[in-house]
Amino acid sequence: MFSKIGVTELVLILALALVIFGPNRLPSLGRMVGKAVGSAKKYMSGITDEISDLEKEIKAPLKEEAKESTQAAVESLADEVPSEPEESVETTDAASANEEE
């Protein structure tokens, strides 16, 4: 958020705050802003954790269902595929022609 604020801008903001609030109130104002930023970070961290947990709860059943359907499809295909390869018609015709000669 503040990555584009340079040193000169920061000094200008601090000088302006010193003029507006005075040297007596500036330390308490700094503590108050620091606490507010800390609270906001904790709040955002909590929301991020909650979203991550919800994502895991949603993905787990879907992942299990996908795994089961994939396994069922593999088993279905395994049942359809013959265990030994069948000879093709061309190979059989060629063998018959060789036997007749």
Summarised one tens digit per residue, pLDDT across range 31-77 is: 999 999 999 999 999 999 999 999 999 999 999 999 999 988 888 88
Q: Tell me the average pLDDT of the chain.
A: 83
In the three-class reduction of DSSP (H, G, I as helix; E, B as strand; rest coil), residue 8 is classed as helix
Q: 17, exposed or middle or buried, with CB in 10 Å at 0-12, 13-18, 19+?
A: middle
Give me the residue spans of the domains in the chain.
28-70
pLDDT at 51: 96
State how far Cα 13 lies from the chain centre.
Answer: 38
How many angstroms separate the CA atoms of 61 and 72, rounded? Answer: 16
How many angstroms separate the CA atoms of 101 and 96, rounded? Answer: 9
pLDDT at 92: 56
Within 13 A of 19's CA, how many CA atoms are on the CB side? Answer: 6
pLDDT at 85: 59
**Section 23-28 average pLDDT:** 90
pLDDT at 87: 58
Is-contact 100 92, C-beta < 8 A?
no
- Which one is predicted more confidently, 12 or 80? 12
